[in-house]
Amino acid sequence: MTVHRRLAATGSVVGAMIVALDGTVLTVAWPGLQRDLGASFAQVQWTSTGYLIAVASLLVFAGRLGDRYGHQRLFAVGMLGFGAASAGIGLAPGIGWMIGLRVVQGVFGALLQPATLGMLRAAYPPDRLRTPIAVRTAAIGVAAALGPVVGGALVSGPGWRAVFFLNVAPAVVLGSLVLVRPGPRRAAAGQRARRLPPGQAPKQAPSAGLDVPGALLLAVTLAGLVHTLVVLPDVRWTTAGEVAVVLVAAAGFVRHERRTASPLIPPDVVGSVAVGSALGVLVTASAALHGTLFVSTYVMQDTLGLDPLQSALRSLPLAVMMVAAAPCGAVLLRRAGARRTGVPAMAVLALGILLLVRASGTLALCVGFGLLGAGFGTVMVTATHVVVRHSAVESAGVAGGAKQTAMNVGPILGVAAATVLLGSGGGRALPLLVLTTVAVGGAVVGGLLPGHGAVGADDHCDTADDLGDAGPRTSVPARR
């Protein structure tokens, strides 16, 4: 493995872990910071809502910036900014400062997240992406498992401010390392040497322009969508006007993208059945999982009378199986293809939710959570691999941004639906059955994933030239 590939893999794993750890650790810090800063519950909620809106609205545009200026450069800026914002939050004198800095942190988080996938797509041949993606998925599972434990220890010891200082050292070290370490030579668009099949014309180079109007329209659409979903359970704050703004912005974005010569989302991404189905699977899987976790937390603590530690221990099989499923998913993906891996994985996820409808004992809860982790971990590897592999190298950042957007919108959608259904008075059965149906719908969408032996967008590329490796140029055969 070359130095560049090791750095890309390390950056992808650590960047994904920092973002995942930040999200899971923060929930533990809420009560302490609310007391210390004299904040209202609504203000505390905005420390998360502001972050989510900033991230979701900028991910795709950040991916396009990476495609144009280099994913390594965007990753470094994102990591350094994320670390600096984390340090500022840890020193924030009041809740207003904290909300503002969380929005800034979200902006830098949006810069680094698509780059964690864009660097992998640029550094690895298409047929070798499974392993680094599986490691990245397993790392996210580890972060999800460690987050509440680490957060609880820090809040109980040094205090809630220490939670935010946790990100600073790894962000600064890795961001600085990536910034000073030059990446591979970037060939001019359209000038790469390729070995094309007989009769196939060279792919046209993407336009060098940045679609700023499209980025603004998409940002308004996603920001409004996220805010609407977050406040949906509280109908007092959900207005017809806000929904209208989202719909008008979305319609404007679609119309603009069809007419502009340099669209924000290139045709090879938006028009790809493989990428579209993978994004649909990610939205449904993450919505079903996070909605189920939201319902199950209330069931275990309010209905079954378990304390937070007992609840966490019973849900621990989810993280364990997610970590274990990542390498297994990579093997299944190689042997059976995306469709035959993703569809059964969604079925396993749905079965796990169904078991939790009536689960009350420790064994039943652990089995249900274990199935959730096994299904979701496999789906993550499969769908992420499809998005990255079936997007051209020139559009890897946009594809990564779209994938991360799906992973941000899905959980918000699932929790919003679960909150509304749980508050309807029907107990846990109704929301969990609806979420089971969502997972089954994801399995149906998974039927559109590529079959065994399908090739990606750039599988014909000359790997040595595209990746900047020294040494003889050899074409890499696609292997499943």
- Say what the alpha-carbon torsion angle 380, 381, 386, 388 is, to the nearest 10 degrees: 100
* Alpha-carbon span 291 to 418, nearest angstrom: 5
DSSP H helices, 70-94, are: 71-90
Q: 3-state SS string over 212-261?
A: HHHHHHHHHHHHHHHHHHHHCCCHHHCCHHHHHHHHHHHHHHHHHHHHCC
- Say what the alpha-carbon torsion angle 161, 166, 167, 169 is, to the nearest 10 degrees: 120
Label residue 290 left, alpha or beta by phi (over 0 means left) and psi (-120 to 50 means alpha): alpha
SS3 380: helix
Asked whether the beta carbons of 339 and 355 are under 8 A apart, the reply is no
* Alpha-carbon span 117 to 279, nearest angstrom: 14
Q: What are the Cα distances from residue 79, in Å, to 107, 151, 396, 476? A: 11, 21, 19, 32
pLDDT reported for residue 84: 95
pLDDT reported for residue 353: 95
Please report the sign of the dihedral spanned by the C-alpha atoms of residue 59, residue 63, residue 69, residue 73: positive
Which of 182, 123, 87 lies closest to 1 in space, CA to CA? Answer: 123
CB burial of residue 66 (10 Å; 0-12, 13-18, 19+):
buried
The Cβ-side half-sphere exposure at 21, using a 13 Å CA radius, reads: 25
pLDDT reported for residue 287: 93
* Alpha-carbon span 112 to 19, nearest angstrom: 9
pLDDT reported for residue 22: 81
* Alpha-carbon span 223 to 407, nearest angstrom: 15
pLDDT reported for residue 68: 87
Q: Determine the distance from the C-alpha atom of residue 79 to the mean position of all C-alpha atoms in its chain, rounded to a whole number.
A: 16
Which residues lie below 8 Å from residue 424, measured CB to CB, with a gap of 6+? 430
Which of 375, 398, 377, 378 lies closest to 388 in space, CA to CA? Answer: 398
pLDDT reported for residue 37: 87
pLDDT reported for residue 194: 43
Other beta carbons within 10 angstroms of residue 299's beta carbon come to 22
* Residue where the block lists tokens 């059965």: 429
Residue 109 corresponds to which tokens in the numbers above? 């988080």
pLDDT in tens, the chain (480 residues): 677 788 888 888 888 888 888 877 777 777 778 888 888 877 877 888 888 888 888 999 999 898 888 888 899 999 999 999 999 999 999 999 999 999 999 999 999 988 888 888 888 887 788 888 888 888 888 887 777 777 778 877 888 888 889 889 999 998 888 888 755 544 333 334 344 444 444 444 444 467 888 889 988 998 888 888 877 666 555 567 778 888 999 999 989 888 888 888 887 787 789 899 999 999 999 999 999 988 888 888 888 888 777 887 888 899 889 889 989 988 999 899 999 999 999 999 999 999 999 888 899 999 999 999 999 999 999 999 999 888 888 888 888 888 888 888 888 888 888 888 877 766 788 999 999 999 999 999 999 998 876 655 555 443 333 333 333 333 333 333
Which of 317, 318, 300 lies closest to 308 in space, CA to CA? Answer: 300
Find residue 107's DSSP bridge partners.
Answer: none
Which residues lie below 8 Å from residue 152, measured CB to CB, with a gap of 6+? 28
pLDDT reported for residue 184: 54
